[in-house]
Structure 1
Amino acid sequence: MERTKQVLASAARLLGTGLSEPVDLGGSRRTTVLRCRTGDGRSVVVKAYTGGPDALRAFTAEAAGLTLGLAGPRLLAVDPELPLLVLEDLGPAPTLADLLLGEDPRAARAGLLAWARGLGRLAAGSVGREEELAALSRKFDTGMPTWAERPWIAENAARFPEVLAAAGVPVPAGLAAELAAGGAAGGAAYPAFTPGDTCPDNNLLTPDGLRLLDFEAACFQSVFLTAAYCRMPFSSCWCVFELPPDVARQTEDVYRAKAVLIHPELADDACWAAGMRDAVAVWTVNATVLLLPRAAEDGPMHPTRRPVPTRHQLLRHRWEAAARLTGRPALAAAFEGLLREVAARW
């Protein structure tokens, strides 16, 4: 309660009007998110961040990403001291997750294609804005490296052999070289802007079209890391189920058509296939490093949403797909080993 009072007082001071009727929108361990009524009757969303390293990093990315103005809700005010953002309220529209878990396949398909098209337009519209985002990140700096500056792909690559060994899976010869090559290709080649976490629940399908939410990891990254969300789907999410093959293909093609506008060489099928292979590997290593050490006991990937896969189901699904990767034999062997030595016991 005291935290809520502090957040409301700071937001009211920034806006120059009182705030009332706060409704908790869920937030996370890093954030408190409240829908509030202003003194003149408007509805706004207040998002405050805790003081932990990940929260401070998320504030810098989101404040910079939303100020860039390429997508997302309109940023109304920023308090870098608390830290806190005040955003326009986009209303109670359904998310892509709502449609995918619903009972209308046509609405789900339409929402999925709108999501891929929106991400593609965002990428295409971000040409030449890298330095501007970097300057905004410095403006909202909290002393923590941004997500773009943190070498998370290299960190995961360094931990992956340890995770394999702890699970009783032999480390294949040549794995380190493949991890380095795949990470370099998947992480830096063909950059474009992204909110970072483009999962199905981080958007709203409003009457005015798709509106993206959650810019806590906003950065310029390889278009392949975003495109992999279409193929896997969704690379770092809890909402993971198989898509009908034609829907999956169409979704990826919609995003690729926009990415080609800024990187024409991506029209080459061999180039696209190699980049997607490495991006899928990067995200599968990420899931393994994050989830496998916590998977001794199975459990749902989301505390409340149903249906939802369990940790075991998600990891098995990821490993089965990654074990079929071509051109990275050591990585494929590692994922085959995880299926044989770990998933087989579940």
Structure 2
Amino acid sequence: MCAPPPFGEQSPFGEKLPFGEKLRAELGSPRRARRLDSSPRSRVWRAELSGTPVAVVVVKQLTEGPEAAERYAREVAALRLASRVDPPVAPRLLGTDPAERVLVLEDLGEQPPADDWVIGYAESLARLHAATSPADIGLLPAWSGPTREDIDAFLGLAQTLGRTAPDGARTKPHEAVRTELDALVNRLAHAPGHALLHGDPCPGNDLHTASGVRFIDFEQAALGNGLMELAYLRIGFPTCWCATAPAQPLLNAAEAAYRTAWRQATGTDIQGDLTDACAGWLLRGDALVERAHRGTTDHLSELPHRDWRWGTATARQRLAHRLGIVAQMTTNGSELEHLGRLASAMRDAMLTRWPTLRPLPAQRPE
């Protein structure tokens, strides 16, 4: 077996920067590489370059693992699509080395988020979503929503909590809700839109800079309806370590900023139903655990027997918040009226069984 080719400068952690001859020829020679914090799925450095106007760059290498090649391809494709947006909403992609799954990005710098950070976040998210058109369909995978297996798991949890049907249902237990949820899953699967979805638009994947919010880490990017990610603000950042619940005035301002930015970028109003988007996230037990544990088990069935902390909140805190949001958003006469009643009853049951449950934090940690 041939030894791997030598890379660039040695990092302080005893690793060599994956900066091969292709990148050196295009961008110059790296020096003073420093390892940065990142997820287990990648290694990230900040380095200086000689012989180029771009003095400091970020070098990211996707590590070996499940779907590594697909994650790399998604990130490269999404960054190229996002580069259409001006002012920018993502770092510039300066170079790639597909053989080593390496990207070289401009270093943006960062400043602490303001107290009203969700407004700038939502505005940049809308402009990111507006980067693509129907002509781009196929350049990224289509967004995928909840499934009927998620419905079964959710209704199973309701039964465990002693809530077999919403108040006022005249049908067999769960039948009214199941009918609504079957229709919901079908609507989400056919939701209109070809927006450039980040895939994981979490606090930490948004950099707050002097020129606005920019997004990083597009490994899960997809095309779909932008409301699926605008819903993050209401439903508690479902795929994120940092789950928060902005105060209502900030939430209203952020959603208005999103809709205004979308309209300015596209000349149209966003299509779809935010209530459907939030209800879709409620169904997903995988949105109670970090990515490494998704797709492994029915997490909703575990929740009555044990709670677990992920980041800023526990699984029960996250679910209780989502149940409350869906209950608030669904009213008499809505397409999800029975779900709303059941969600309210399930939340009440959780608060009775676990009275010390606290709300999600209103702000991200410093």
Q: Report the TM-score, using the length of structure 2 for normalisation.
A: 0.72
* Residue 329 (str. 1) matches residue 327 (str. 2): no
- Look up the match of 1:286: 284
CA offset digits 1:104-136 (Å, max 9, x no partner):
xxx322x322221112223334334524xx34x
Distance in 2 between the 1:9 and 1:319 partners?
A: 45
**Contact 2:239 2:287 (C-alpha < 8 Å) held by counterparts:** no
Unpaired runs of 5+ in structure 2?
1-9, 165-172, 290-298, 355-366
- Look up the match of 1:256: 259
- Look up the match of 1:205: 208
1:158-237 aligned within 5 A: 158-165=149-156, 168-169=160-161, 170=164, 172-187=174-189, 188-237=191-240
Distance in 1 between the 2:282 and 2:237 partners?
A: 11
Distance in 2 between the 1:332 and 1:207 partners?
A: 41
- Look up the match of 1:142: none
* Residue 79 (str. 1) matches residue 97 (str. 2): yes
- Look up the match of 2:310: 301
* Residue 59 (str. 1) matches residue 66 (str. 2): no
Which of these two proteins has the greater Rg computed from alpha carbons?
2
- In structure 2, relative to structure 1, the CA distance for the partners of 1:18 and 1:252 (3 Å cut) is same
- Look up the match of 2:357: none
- In structure 2, relative to structure 1, the CA distance for the partners of 1:81 and 1:28 (3 Å cut) is same
Superposed displacement of residue 208, structure 1: 2.2
- Look up the match of 1:31: 42
- In structure 2, relative to structure 1, the CA distance for the partners of 1:54 and 1:7 (3 Å cut) is farther
- In structure 2, relative to structure 1, the CA distance for the partners of 1:317 and 1:122 (3 Å cut) is same
Superposed displacement of residue 255, structure 1: 0.7
- In structure 2, relative to structure 1, the CA distance for the partners of 1:184 and 1:260 (3 Å cut) is farther
**Contact 1:30 1:54 (C-alpha < 8 Å) held by counterparts:** no
SS at 1:81 equivalent: helix
Distance in 2 between the 1:178 and 1:54 partners?
A: 34
Distance in 2 between the 1:54 and 1:123 partners?
A: 24
Unpaired runs of 5+ in structure 1?
100-106, 138-145, 303-307
Partner amino acid, structure 1, of 2:126: G
CA offset digits 1:134-181 (Å, max 9, x no partner):
34x5xxxxxxxx4x26x3x244x4234135426714472144443343
Structure with the larger helix share: 1
- In structure 2, relative to structure 1, the CA distance for the partners of 1:342 and 1:161 (3 Å cut) is farther
Distance in 2 between the 1:75 and 1:300 partners?
A: 35
SS at 1:28 equivalent: coil
Superposed displacement of residue 264, structure 1: 3.5
Superposed displacement of residue 6, structure 1: 7.3
- Look up the match of 2:324: 320
Distance in 2 between the 1:226 and 1:162 partners?
A: 23
Superposed displacement of residue 251, structure 1: 0.8
Q: Which moved more, 1:256-265 or 1:40-49?
A: 256-265
- Look up the match of 2:125: 119
Superposed displacement of residue 225, structure 1: 0.8
SS at 1:238 equivalent: coil
Partner amino acid, structure 2, of 1:173: E
Distance in 2 between the 1:332 and 1:29 partners?
A: 38
SS at 2:310 equivalent: coil
- In structure 2, relative to structure 1, the CA distance for the partners of 1:246 and 1:340 (3 Å cut) is closer
- Look up the match of 2:58: 45
Distance in 1 between the 2:316 and 2:21 partners?
A: 45
Partner amino acid, structure 1, of 2:317: Q
Distance in 1 between the 2:325 and 2:286 partners?
A: 13
Partner amino acid, structure 2, of 1:19: P
Distance in 2 between the 1:126 and 1:232 partners?
A: 25
Partner amino acid, structure 2, of 1:165: G
- In structure 2, relative to structure 1, the CA distance for the partners of 1:179 and 1:154 (3 Å cut) is same
Distance in 1 between the 2:97 and 2:238 partners?
A: 32
Partner amino acid, structure 2, of 1:58: R
SS at 1:196 equivalent: coil
**Contact 2:320 2:347 (C-alpha < 8 Å) held by counterparts:** yes
SS at 1:189 equivalent: coil
Distance in 1 between the 2:321 and 2:233 partners?
A: 15
CA offset digits 1:233-267 (Å, max 9, x no partner):
4343333333232221111011112334537454x
SS at 1:243 equivalent: coil
